[in-house]
Chain A
Amino acid sequence: MRYVLISHEKIDIESCINKVKSDSAGAISSFIGTTRDEFNGKKVIKLEYEAYESMALSEINKVCDTIESKYNDIKHIVIIHRIGDVPVGESSIVIFISSAHRSSSLEAVHYAIDTIKSIAPIWKKEYYSDGSIWKGNCESCHYH
C-alpha cells in the first residue's frame, strides 16, 4: 500500500502509523520533519509552505517507485507533506515505511527525505519579526 498526500491539514501521526502496520512487517521506520523557531539566530514567527501539487505528487511517487524496486521487503509507504501555514513545532513532512526487515525501511526513509528535499517542487517561506524570505535547500539550488 502506498499513500502519498499534499495536505493543508495538521498531520495525524497516529493514523500514519496505523496505515503502515502489517503483520508481515518486522519494522516501521519513520522521519518526522518539524518546523524550527530560529534561523541563524533570527526568531521565526511563522512558516508557510507552497507546492506545485501535481508535480510534487509525481516526484514523491517516483521516490516510492525507486524504493519499491530497490527493496523487495517493503510493505507500506506513507508520505504526507503539509502546505499552507505550519505553526512552529508542528510537522511539515512525515514518512512512514514498513518492511519485513529493519534495514530496508531505515535506508528507504533516509533516501526518501533526502530526495524529496532536493527535488520535490515545494517551497518554504520563513517569516521573522522584521521580514520574510523564501528558502532554498542548498542541495537543490542548482549551483552548489
Chain B
Amino acid sequence: MNFKKATLVMLALAVSSQVSAHSRWILPSHFTLSSERGEWVTLDATASNEVFNVDKALSIDPLSILTPSGKKSRPSSAYKAHRKSVADYFIEESGTYKITNNSTPSYFSTYKVGDKRHRARVNKMELKSLVPANATSLQTAYGLTRIESYITMNNPTENYAIDGKFLELLPKTHPSEVVENEPATFVFTYNGKVQSGVEVEITRDGARYRNNPETLTMKSNNKGEITFTPMHAGRYLLIAEHEQDAKNKTLADKEHGGVFLTFEVQLQ
C-alpha cells in the first residue's frame, strides 16, 4: 500500500469514528444574561446530526448544573418530548454556570458475524462470552462523552470544573467572550494532561439551510490547543474526539473520550 492509499484509509477510519453516532447537545435559550434578580433559562437536549434542529430526545437524567459558587444543582422541571427533552432552570447568581449532561464512563463493543456489524454495551470479557463462535473483528472501547455548555449572567467567572478524566475541554478564551472575526482558543486534556491530535469539528447553527455545512475541522496542537476564528456570530456546536490504546487490555482495547460543547459567538 502506498502512502496516499494509507492516508486515505486512515482518514476514512478517522471520519467513520466521528460519524458513527448521532451528535448530541444541550442548547440553552440564553448564553448571556444581564439581571439584578435572576432569569429563567430553558435547556433543550437532543441527539441530532443537524445543528441545531432537534431529532431524538436525549435523556436529561444526568443533567447537572454547577453554579458559580460551586454548588451542584438540578433543573426545576423537565419534560421529555419525542424529539427533545426540555428543562427549566432559574439562574440566580452572577457568574458563569457550567451545564453538563454526562453519563458515567461505559464500555462499547462491536463485532461482525459474516458481513453484519453488531454492537453491544459490554466489556471485552463479557463480549467474548456473548458472541457466537464465528464472530470476527471484536473490538471494545471504554470511554466517556461529555455534553456541556456555559451560561453567564453578569460578570463571567472561570467556573470550568475540570475533573481530570478522559477528554475535557478547558476554555482559554472564556465561552462568553467568543466574538466573530476574533480568534478563540480552547485547550484539550486527556486524563488531566494536555492532549495533542484531538480531532475537532465546529459547526454553526442553521446547517439545514446551507448546501455546505461549513464545518471547521482541526486538530489540537502539542499544547492541546485549538485556535479558530469564527466568521459569523451565532450558535455553534463543537465536537471533539480522542481515542487511544487502553493501558490495560483485559476489559477494553481502546479508550475513548468525546466532548460536545454548545456555545455562542457574539457580534463584534
**Do A and B make up one complex?**
no
Write the residues of chain B forming the contact surface with A, with a CB cutoff of 8 angstroms.
none
Chain A interface (Cβ < 8 Å from any Cβ of B): none
